[in-house]
Amino acid sequence: MSTNRRDFLKTGATAALGLSGFTFISPNVLGKSMGHVAPSDKVNLACVGIGNRGKEIIKALNNTCLCNIVALCDVDMGAEQTLEVMNMFPNAKRYQDFRKMFDDMGGEFDAVSIATPDFSHFPVTMMALAEGKHVYVEKPMARTFQEVDLMIAAAKKNPKLATQMGNQGHSEANYFQFKTWKEAGIIKDVTAITAHMNSRRRWHGWDPNISRYPASQPVPFTMDWNVWLSQAQPHGYHKDFHNGQWRCWYDFGMGALGDWGAHIIDTAHEFLDLGLPYEVNPVKLSGHNPFFFPMSTTLEFKFPERGQMPPLTITWYDGLDNIPAVPEGYGVSELDPNIPPPSTGQIQPAKLNPGKIIYSKDLIFKGGSHGSTLSIIPEEKAKEWESKLPEVPQSPSNHFANFLKACKGEEKTRSPFEIAGPLSQVFCLGVMAQQMGVKLEFDRETRQIINNPLANQVLAGMPPRKGWEEFYRV
């Protein structure tokens, strides 16, 4: 065990009070060629979670030519989804347990990429920061509000370490356009945002009258199910908890909101200085049950005045049958052109790709997800503003190069934990409202839910499984 880890376990103070010492509660192209970088000048990178999405992240990080992949870690190193990456990097050391990886070779890498299920981002991140490693972690940062708080605190304690959450749009055109248009006063006095993600999800078609978790199945012989569970409550293995199916369950994932929210509302959240909402209202929860996410959800997130900016409400829509109305002049793109517009000016499309509609005092903006840019609608208004729009700078680096350059001290990350954390906590509050089916009133000063004592306890999630308490110390 490394000295850093010994110090972490010996001197770390518990972060919250409670009975047991814790509360129960399309990648962007590079702006210019990197050229040849000597291996000695590259960031030595350990990758935790190497199948499925993790595989794509590792490829993208490797394609920057700024890192050496020196370690690969996954709870199932014999699965089909992990073999491709193992074959790509045959000299990388291999592990099933990230804790053993840190103990064995913590001195041989500088940074960690984390692409495990949402709930298990937390322990890997906390260990990495305690061991002095830079961290790239997929979105959302964690599954519970308290865990995100602890990750922010750990990063703040180690300010020389680069942190980056994997909402890639923060290094693409949307980020720079929104920032430029906000600074130029084009995006101003925003009072409402419609955010929508109406594609089919993995749990659509499941029976919402479920009364218990599915019966346990034999664990694949190549898999370490105990490490997969990490700090989560005990569950027997089932195929519908694994390989992306974890997104469906409150115990493991964050549903459509956690999966897509960071790609849709991220720039508005940062540049409109939204912080945390004072109210989250579950307007619609179709197929609500205690185990997996609703078939359709409408959530209202209400934010107060911020300086000179007016109060703002984000309304989130997901579900195949829950497509929001769009304003007149939205255009036929992403819509069914055979549906005539109603006299009310609000069109009910038959299909709508993931994105957002931003309503300000003078202008309406239409946008997609990830790095896609905003446009002013209707078309006549866009033409009126065309000559007034400022030039938007190009990204100097994609999200992966930005992280690795930050590890080397050459750039600052665009989605560090102090920015990505509050965004992730918006999703934590939204998922709580979905799961509990109640309106949450949140005090932004005390950071407590003030209208529901049980919800305030749930704010921190269940205590960790025995043996995983160490990660809840900063």
Q: Where are the domains of the chain?
A: 3-168+398-416, 171-232+239-388
User: At 347, is the pLDDT very low, low, confident or very high (cuts 50, 70, 90)?
Assistant: confident
Question: Does the pLDDT at position 26 exceed 60?
Answer: no
Q: Which of 64-73, 191-200, 296-305, 339-348 has the lowest mean pLDDT?
A: 339-348
pLDDT in tens, 47-93: 999 999 999 999 999 999 999 999 999 999 999 999 999 999 999 99
pLDDT of residue 336: 66
pLDDT score for 5: 44
Calpha distance 31→15 (Å, rounded): 41
- Asked if pLDDT for residue 380 goes beyond 70, the answer is yes
Contacts (Cβ under 8 Å, ≥6 apart) of 256: 197, 201, 293, 297, 318
What pLDDT is recorded for position 331?
86
Taking the C-alpha atoms of residue 131 and residue 7, their distance in angstroms, rounded to an integer, is: 10
User: Looking at the predicted structure, is the pLDDT value of residue 377 above 70?
Assistant: yes
Confidence of residue 19 (pLDDT cuts 50, 70, 90): very low
Secondary structure string (H, E, C) spanning the chain? CCHHHHHHHHHCCECCCCCCCCCCCCCCCCCCCCCCCCHHHCEEEEEECCCCHHHHHHHHHHHCCCEEEEEEECCECCCHHHHHHHHHCCCCEEECCHHHHHHHHHHHCCEEEECCCHHHHHHHHHHHHHCCCEEEECCCCCCCHHHHHHHHHHHHHCCCCCEEECCHHHHCHHHHHHHHHHHCCCCCCEEEEEEEECCCCCCCCCCCCCCCCCCCCCCCCCECHHHHHCCCCCCCCCHHHCCCHHHHECCCCCHHHHHHHHHHCHHHHHHCCCCCCCEEEEEEEECCCCCECCCEEEEEEEECCECCECCEEEEEEECCCCCCCEECCCCCCCCCCCCCCCCCCEECCCCCCCEEEEEECCCEEEECCCCCCCEEECHHHHHHHHHHCCCCCCCCCCHHHHHHHHHCCCCCCCCCHHHHHHHHHHHHHHHHHHHHCCCEEEECCCCEECCCHHHHHHCCCCCCCCCCHHHHEC
Token look-up 């680069």 returns: 162
Q: pLDDT for 430-458, tens place per residue? A: 999 999 999 999 999 999 999 999 999 99
Percentage of the chain modeled with pLDDT above 90: 86
- pLDDT band, very low/low/confident/very high, at 339 (cuts 50, 70, 90): low
Q: Given this model, what pLDDT does residue 337 score?
A: 65
What was the pLDDT predicted at 6?
A: 39
Closest by alpha carbon to 367, among 275, 297, 257, 263? 263
Helix axes 80-88, 53-63, angle to 10 degrees: 10
Angle between helices 417-436 and 255-264 (to 10 degrees): 150
Averaged pLDDT score across all residues of the chain? 91
Structurally, at CATH architecture level, domain 171-232+239-388 sits in 2-Layer Sandwich (3.30)
Q: Do 119 and 424 form a contact (C-beta atoms < 8 A)?
A: no
Q: Would you say residue 22 has pLDDT above 70? A: no
Higher local confidence (pLDDT), 172 or 3:
172
How many Å apart are CA 379 and CA 359, to the nearest integer?
A: 15
Quick one: pLDDT at residue 303?
98
Q: Which residues contact 9 (CB under 8 A, 6 or more apart)?
A: 470
- 184 vs 40, residue with greater confidence: 184
Q: Which residue has the tokens 């929508």?
A: 196
pLDDT for the residue numbered 341 = 61
pLDDT band at residue 40 using 50, 70 and 90 as cut-offs = confident
pLDDT of 21 strictly over 90: no
**Under a CB-based contact definition with an 8 Å cutoff, are residues 439 and 433 in contact?**
yes
44 pairs with which residues across the strands? 68
User: Quick one: average pLDDT of 345-359?
Assistant: 88
- pLDDT tens readout for residues 174-193: 999 999 999 999 999 999 99
Q: At what angle do helices 417-436 and 145-157 cross, to 10 degrees?
A: 170
Beta bridge partners of 449: 442
Residue 351, CA distances (Å) to 258, 267, 330, 417 in order: 21, 24, 13, 34
How does residue 348 score in pLDDT terms, banded at 50, 70 and 90?
confident
- Tokens representing 166 are 């994997």
Cα separation, 139 vs 201, in Å, equals 17
How far is 83 from 259, CA to CA, in rounded Å? 25
| pLDDT attached to residue 152 | 98
* Residue 27, pLDDT score: 36
CATH architecture for segment(s) 3-168+398-416: 3-Layer(aba) Sandwich (3.40)
Q: Over the stretch 138-147, which tens digit does the pLDDT of each residue have?
A: 999 999 999 9
